Amino acid sequence: MSAQESPSQPVLDVQGVHKRFGGQHVLRGIDLTVRQHEAVVLIGASGSGKSTLLKTVNLLEQIDDGRIVLAGDDITDPRADVDAVRARIGVVFQHYNLFPHMTVLANVVLAMRKVFGAPRAEAERRGLELLARIGLGDKAGEYPDRLSGGQQQRVAIVRAIATNPELLLLDEITSALDPQLVGEVLDLVSELKAAGSTIVMATHEMSFARRVADRIVYLKDGVIIESGTPEQIFDHPQRPETREFLARVSDPFTA
Ligand SMILES: Nc1ncnc2c1ncn2[C@@H]1O[C@H](COP(=O)(O)OP(=O)(O)OP(=O)(O)O)[C@@H](O)[C@H]1O
């Protein structure tokens, strides 16, 4: 069943969200609904608010107005348990953020063990299975600095999905990589999408956005200017702002 046909309640419902940093109004009334198995890709110029929006969902930034609902729970309610909310969301950032003093496997199993209390043997079995699935089974005992940037980022992705999060947030996950390593990371995201993950992702990789997204959301100065299927946004943008942005980033790898 496609996301559009799904009768299920949204996994994520961002309602009228505002965020200011000092005098700067960075998110100006964001409404965004993401359904199960949907991949939503945020595009927009540097500084348009993509990362900030993802951070508000993960409660790394507090919102000034509006609310954010995760599978029916208002996570921006001041009484919400921040750790419990974060345990439901997988996050991968631009920089892999693996712990350098821990092996690859120890990185992957950490949240399973610490947050969910999984027994070591069970967590390690799943960790090894996940690493094998991405072709890095033989790296389980290595330290992160022995891996390429692309391999490290794939480990970070596997770590994020190890606990079966309800939602996966991916923030510019290929921006810090050498161009030849970008493909392997994006292929893994495509596989997760195909396997049914619910994903919200910020990227400057327009060609990838077109490939993986069910819906593209174009942000400008903290406002959603236009959203739609990749075909609607890339081939038939309705708003002049969207057309201008896409003309500027027409080279997919220099956006
Ligand atoms: N912690 C912060 N304190 C002050 N200003 C911030 C903070 N975080 C973000 N900003 C500002 O908010 C605006 C939006 O930033 P944000 O990182 O969300 O944009 P972005 O669309 O993700 O950009 P990029 O594509 O470069 O990652 C920018 O002007 C940025 O300088």
Let me know if residue 127 belongs to a domain.
yes
Q: Are 203 and 185 in contact (CB under 8 A)?
A: no
Let me know if residue 157 belongs to a domain.
yes
Whether the model clears a pTM of 0.90, i.e. scores above it, the answer is yes
Range of the domain at 139: 89-163
| Strand, helix or coil for residue 149 | helix
Let me know if residue 135 belongs to a domain.
yes
Q: Maximum CA pair distance of the chain?
A: 56
Ligand 1 first shell, C-beta below 6 A: 21, 26, 44, 46-52, 172, 202
Q: Which of 17, 30, 51 has the most ligand 1 atoms within 8 A of CB, as the residue to mutate?
A: 51
For the CA of 53, the closest atom of ligand 1 is 18
Let me know if residue 221 belongs to a domain.
no
Let me know if residue 146 belongs to a domain.
yes
Let me know if residue 119 belongs to a domain.
yes
β-pair partners for 68: 14
Let me know if residue 38 belongs to a domain.
no
Mind listing the pLDDT tens digit of every residue in the chain (255 residues)? 444 444 567 999 999 999 999 999 999 999 999 999 999 999 999 999 999 999 999 999 999 999 999 999 999 999 999 999 999 999 998 886 899 999 999 999 998 888 888 899 999 999 999 999 899 999 999 999 999 989 999 999 999 999 999 999 999 998 888 888 888 889 999 999 999 999 999 999 998 999 999 999 999 999 999 999 999 999 999 999 999 999 998 754 444
Total domains present in the chain: 1
Q: Which of 17, 43, 50 has the most ligand 1 atoms within 8 A of CB, as the residue to mutate?
A: 50
ipTM of this predicted complex?
0.97
Q: Which tokens hold the place of 197?
A: 């993950």
Let me know if residue 120 belongs to a domain.
yes
167 Cα–ligand 1 center, Å: 22
57-97 pLDDT, tens digit each: 999 999 999 999 999 999 999 999 999 999 999 999 888 68
